[in-house]
Structure 1
Amino acid sequence: MLTDKPGHPLLAATASVLVGAGHQVEFLDPGAPAPGAPAGGEDDGVADVYLLKAHTPEALALARGLEERGALVVNSAGATELCQDRNRIAMTAEANGLPMPRTKLLDSLSGLLPDSGGPSFGYPFMVKSRHSRRGDLVARVDHPAALRELAVAWHDEPVVAQEFIANSGWDHKVWVIAGQVFAGVRQAPVGAPPTGALSAPVVRELPGEWAALALHVGEVFGLDVYGVDLLDREGDPVVVDINAFPGIRGPEGAPEALAALILTVRQRSVA
């Protein structure tokens, strides 16, 4: 497991399932000093399967190196990197007919200021860092003054601007592990949420067409473990975010599903 957070509940529980079934599990921090040959104990130093949870440049470089040596990495380095670039996500979604907000790429927020023409889709709109990472920019902009403030605070940040999707106020969190769909809802970070805050996603069953959309996202982006954020636009789901292996917490059965995926991938390699 390639991660800097070995105590993550899902990873720890998955490791417990695998160890209980007689398998060996090792955690490798991609940002730590190189330990020599990759973990695994095989003659060539390569493990049966690597689970890519970390998304840092060091983690992606390590995953690519392992893939070049013939290792099996879930999700692949290429798919993980794709999901860190919000502009590439939007382009890929549009090319494959996935419902997603209109998106515009900018070198900086100054390109959206009123004296530069402003956003083509009007206020309010969303601005997000082009590259998804911890502590990145995700904000709703309601008027020019708010845009100017962001432009000062994030003056060198490459961004994407997206049309704001009027919605029910609930963010539908969907996680998929090898085709198994888990879901919850939480108050959306923006919009007009209903009264009564939720402190954590509540597990629920998605409508069939919503689940089908989430599964199609995995096919389009080449992902086995991923998250999709959906908003309800007058009854229809709209994809507003895609994450390769997000911080999945809470869904019953998720550790078992992840362990089963790892063993399935391993079995394919020896079949």
Structure 2
Amino acid sequence: MRIGLIARDPGHPVLAAAAELLVRRGCEVEVVPPGGAVGEPAEVYLLKARTPQALSLARELERRGAVVVNSAAATELCQDRVRMAELARGAGLPFAATVAAGRLAELAPPSHPFVVKSRHSRRHDLVARVDGAARLRELVEHWGEEEVVTQPYLPGSGWDQKLWVVDGRVFAARRRSELSPDDGEPGMAGGWEPPAGTAALALRVGEVFGLDVYGVDLLDGAAEPVIVDVNAFPGVRGRPGAPEALAGLALRMAAERGRVWAGRGRWAGRGRWAGRGRWAGWGR
């Protein structure tokens, strides 16, 4: 059985651990960089990268009959915060009210305070609380051409509830909100067990968005659950059991595709696994 990883960083802890587990199960694991080429497709690909090149590759693999987790369409949808909010609210999910606002430099501010975010979700994008005109001018200096959305500022505890779902298994933690002041508090708190209703809400998000590996951010401290973001294939770092769940998902998807297992427990293609959990780099 062949499993492919479309990833910029195949050494990511969760990916690397899942790959090791798959190798032990006799799978051949191939690493494909986002702009790479593929010969005969593998049975299943895990789409960790979200660049335009990665999405284009995923669509081509789907066209050729491979299973891609998450699909290119579902992954792309989660990059557009307007489409994300429309889908969620249309399905009855408690998603924060989100308004497309055009370029930040042309923003007609709603009542203060409010939250402004990049319309297109990506690493190091814009997420900020705006308390007044001075703060908005400061943001415009650096982000004036950015396409943004606005959301009402909802008071909370200063933390976000982070839920990650891998093949129906829910992992959780609490993390300092990006909107909270930097007061020296640790960024991640452990030991949080979501209530059954919150876990059920996270699972419902996957059904609505067509995702198998995803994250859901909820405002902490609100009287009722409020979803503030959905992420396709997040890192899920430091969550015991996450690599096992990811490896199990890949195996299940491949088995459902009806292919015969193959391989001798080695990495092949553009990257390779060099025994006992050591990453050997990009191949030739």
What TM-score comes out, normalization by structure 1 length?
Answer: 0.89
The whole-number CA distance in structure 2 between the counterparts of 1:12 and 1:102 is 37
Which protein has greater RCO, CA pairs closer than 8 Å, 6+ apart? 2
SS in 2 for 1:156: coil
The whole-number CA distance in structure 2 between the counterparts of 1:72 and 1:145 is 49
SS in 1 for 2:257: helix
Residue by residue, what CA displacement relative to the aligned partner does 1:146-184 show, whole Å, maximum 9, x if unpaired? 112212321211100111111122211110001100000
Whether 1:64 aligns to 2:55 is: no
Sequence identity percentage: 55
1:168 and 1:192 in contact (8 A); partners too: no
1:227 and 1:242 in contact (8 A); partners too: yes
1:182 and 1:203 in contact (8 A); partners too: no
Which has more strand, going by share of residues?
A: 2
Residue by residue, what CA displacement relative to the aligned partner does 1:71-94 show, whole Å, maximum 9, x if unpaired? 100000000000000111111111
2:104 and 2:140 in contact (8 A); partners too: yes
Match of residue 248 from structure 1: 236
Match of residue 105 from structure 1: 100
SS in 2 for 1:22: coil
Whether 1:154 aligns to 2:149 is: no
Q: Pick from 249, 254, 266 the counterpart of residue 266 of structure 1.
A: 254
The whole-number CA distance in structure 1 between the counterparts of 2:153 and 2:115 is 6
Question: Mapping of 1:22-41 within 5 angstroms?
Answer: 22-32=26-36, 34=37, 37=39
2:176 and 2:188 in contact (8 A); partners too: no
**Structure 1, unaligned runs of 5 or more:** 38-44
Q: Which amino acid aligns with 1:31?
A: G
Aligned CA distance change for structure 1 residues 201 and 80 (closer, same or farther; 3 Å): farther
SS in 2 for 1:214: helix
Aligned CA distance change for structure 1 residues 146 and 192 (closer, same or farther; 3 Å): closer
The whole-number CA distance in structure 2 between the counterparts of 1:167 and 1:174 is 17
Question: Mapping of 1:1-271 within 5 angstroms?
Answer: 1-32=5-36, 34=37, 37=39, 45-112=40-107, 116=108, 118-119=109-110, 122-191=111-180, 197-270=185-258
SS in 2 for 1:107: strand
The whole-number CA distance in structure 2 between the counterparts of 1:258 and 1:153 is 38
1:4 and 1:31 in contact (8 A); partners too: no
Residue by residue, what CA displacement relative to the aligned partner does 1:19-67 show, whole Å, maximum 9, x if unpaired? 01111111111135x3x51xxxxxxx01010000000000000000000
Residue by residue, what CA displacement relative to the aligned partner does 1:114-149 show, whole Å, maximum 9, x if unpaired? xx4x31xx2111111111112211111111111122
2:14 and 2:237 in contact (8 A); partners too: yes
Residue by residue, what CA displacement relative to the aligned partner does 1:89-112 show, whole Å, maximum 9, x if unpaired? 111111011112211102212343
Q: CA deviation at 1:233?
A: 4.6
Q: Which amino acid aligns with 1:230?
A: L
Q: Which amino acid aligns with 1:174?
A: L
Computed over aligned residues only, the root mean square deviation of the Cα atoms, in angstroms, reads: 1.7
